[in-house]
Amino acid sequence: MTKPAFSLCVYCGSREGNSPAYAAVAREVGTWIGGHNGQLVYGGGRNGLMGILADATLAAGGRVVGVIPTALVEKEWAHTGCTELHVVATMHDRKRLMAEHADAFLALPGGIGTLEEFFEVWTWRQLGYHDKPVGLLNSTGYYDSLLKFLGDSVSAGFMNPWLMDLVTAGSDTVPLLESLVQAAGISHLKSRLDQI
């Protein structure tokens, strides 16, 4: 198999949510990753947006690296169709391995797990533990309230304005994905879609 052009770690819900728009976004992201010879790194589940994202990436010809703790294998029904599936001991091991495999990070709609992972890699970047791009896809308006709250945190003096510059938030899927990959220093995107 050809070496992936890039490796994108995506955080998203293990549920589909109440709107079909969330599933559509996950499918669009997976299709883009696979269609551009990319590798998806994610939490290894087959349920919800996680499964939709992984299936779309695989269907478009991309590699999928899933990382899931032993305790969650049954709970999230580990995706056995992943190109690589790593079963690890703890959540800390999971997040560390996902980060190590990634060139950039992206959060899609999700719950507390998605938010925790997103805030952690953002914090790690602020502390200088990595310098990989961090993105927030808000195409459905799902994160409107969160982005307003973060702006309020800056106004209240609990965050420096430059912290917001460490996250790329966008409502248009393809431009945001392209921005993250380019910011990761990967200038040669090889698209399978362009070869059809």
DSSP assignment letter at 108? -
Q: Could you give the count of Cα atoms lying within 13 Å of 146 in the half-sphere of its Cβ?
A: 20
- Is the pLDDT at 184 greater than 50, yes or no? yes
DSSP assignment letter at 78? B
In the prediction, which pLDDT does 185 show?
85
Average pLDDT over residues 145-174: 97
- Is the pLDDT at 151 greater than 90, yes or no? yes
- Is the pLDDT at 195 greater than 70, yes or no? no
> Which residue segments constitute the domains of the chain, with CATH numbers given?
6-184 (3.40.50.450)
- Is the pLDDT at 99 greater than 60, yes or no? yes
**Residue 61 to residue 32: CA distance in whole angstroms:** 10
- Is the pLDDT at 48 greater than 70, yes or no? yes
In the prediction, which pLDDT does 190 show?
45
